[in-house]
């Protein structure tokens, strides 16, 4: 089952988790590899965090992290932790140029998710999952199973928070990962820059009339689209759009083409992933006679958002800015 579908299904059933008060200061001068005497806690440690219902106390940073999804890998690399990554898995999209050198040095443990045997063979002391499917207990990768093997873990909080802003979740995710690895100052710096990017986009959009947007993921008989929950809806809003399917209380859902016609989106945002190209998706929409009177189709108004940017990861702040310029070409760059 593709990660995309697994992720969607698990979003709907994920349980809410409560963040416990952090028990240690962030940052410190501890080296990210955590090579210190175990008898003495590293600077900034012990650090206790509850993540998606699993409480962990770290006395030093993980030294051998296995990143199970691309956006988990990218968070680690963005924080300068390449030397602490012992392996990666499940590459969803092209590697960004800024990460190419680091990615080339990191072993690929599996094209998708590794078996329990391959995971253990990588000898990690920490496993970081971007999607809940990374920790499938049926495959022997449950977080409890890993803990029994002496391996700590973390799941991206996209899968265990409800009612919070998805962009705020990004800031929290990066902050907590930074503290876990003893690089709190780097995380704080990244969050400050990300907030500025998002705030600058909001300032540029001040006084600009939002345009209505329909997100097209895939589908022929029905259209898989973004509902009113989740990061896709929030990114559309922060980019100066109004999601025409925002009344659907799900991150992703199926919509009828009649709904698309009735709701008359000004722009169709194509979600780019998988074997079907953006151009093929555009052609399918433009060639459908039932859609010919939809404003976005009549005016050939499209935006493109890679699926890899529609996650709680480090790509999202800049992606909001790019989407804003696609929805509002009149904005100054």
How confident is the chain (333 residues) per 10-residue block, as mean pLDDT? 40 37 37 44 88 97 98 98 97 93 96 96 97 96 97 96 88 98 98 98 97 97 95 97 96 96 98 94 97 97 96 97 97 81
Are the CB atoms for 170 and 317 separated by under 8 Å? Answer: yes
For the chain, list the domains and their CATH numbers: 3-198 (3.40.50.1980), 205-327 (3.40.50.1980)
Predicted confidence at residue 21, as pLDDT, reads 37
Q: Could you tell me the CA-to-CA distances from 94 to 50, 176, 203 in Å, in that order?
A: 32, 26, 31
pTM of the full predicted structure?
Answer: 0.86
- Determine the pLDDT at residue 41: 64
**Cβ neighbours of residue 148 closer than 8 Å, sequence gap 6 or more:** none
Judging by beta carbons within 10 Å of its beta carbon (0-12, 13-18, 19+), is residue 213 exposed, middle or buried? Answer: buried
* pLDDT number for residue 92: 86
CB 63 within 8 A of CB 34: yes
Residue 184: what pLDDT? 97
Beta strands in the chain (DSSP E): 47-51, 54-58, 65-67, 85-89, 108-110, 126-129, 152-155, 211-216, 223-226, 241-243, 252-255, 267-272, 302-306
Report which DSSP code applies to 32. T
Among 181, 184, 146, CA closest to 59: 181
Provide the pLDDT for residue 27. Answer: 37
For 28, half-sphere exposure in the C-beta direction (CA atoms, 13 angstrom radius) is: 21
């Amino acid at each position: 089952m593709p990660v995309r579908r697994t992720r969607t299904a698990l979003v709907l059933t994920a349980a809410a988790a409560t963040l416990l008060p952090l028990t240690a200061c962030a940052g410190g001068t501890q080296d990210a590899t955590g090579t210190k005497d175990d008898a003495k806690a590293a600077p900034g440690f012990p650090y206790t965090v509850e993540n998606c219902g699993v409480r962990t106390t770290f006395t030093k940073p993980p030294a051998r992290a296995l990143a199970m999804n691309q956006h988990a890998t990218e968070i680690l690399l963005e924080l300068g932790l390449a030397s602490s990554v012992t392996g990666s898995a499940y590459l969803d999209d092209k590697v960004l140029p800024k990460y190419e050198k680091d990615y080339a040095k990191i072993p690929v443990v599996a094209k998708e998710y590794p078996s329990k045997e391959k995971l253990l063979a990588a000898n990690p002391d920490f496993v970081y999952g971007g999607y809940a499917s990374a920790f499938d207990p049926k495959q022997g990768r449950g977080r409890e199973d890993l803990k029994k093997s002496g391996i700590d873990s973390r799941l991206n909080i996209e899968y265990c928070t409800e009612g919070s802003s998805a962009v705020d979740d990004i800031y929290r995710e990066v902050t907590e990962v930074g503290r876990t690895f003893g690089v709190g100052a780097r995380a704080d710096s990244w969050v400050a820059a990300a907030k500025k990017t998002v705030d600058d986009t909001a300032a540029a959009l001040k006084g600009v009339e939002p345009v209505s947007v329909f997100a097209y993921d895939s589908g022929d008989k029905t259209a898989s689209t973004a509902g009113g929950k989740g990061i896709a809806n929030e990114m559309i809003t922060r980019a100066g759009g109004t999601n025409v399917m925002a009344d659907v209380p799900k991150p992703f859902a199926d919509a009828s083409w009649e709904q698309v016609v009735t709701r008359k989106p000004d722009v169709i945002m194509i979600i780019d992933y998988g074997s079907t190209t953006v151009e093929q998706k555009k052609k399918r929409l433009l060639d459908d006679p039932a859609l010919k009177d939809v404003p976005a189709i009549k005016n050939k108004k499209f935006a493109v958002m890679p699926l890899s940017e529609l996650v709680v990861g480090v790509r999202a702040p800049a992606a909001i800015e790019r989407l804003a310029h696609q929805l509002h070409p009149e904005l100054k760059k």
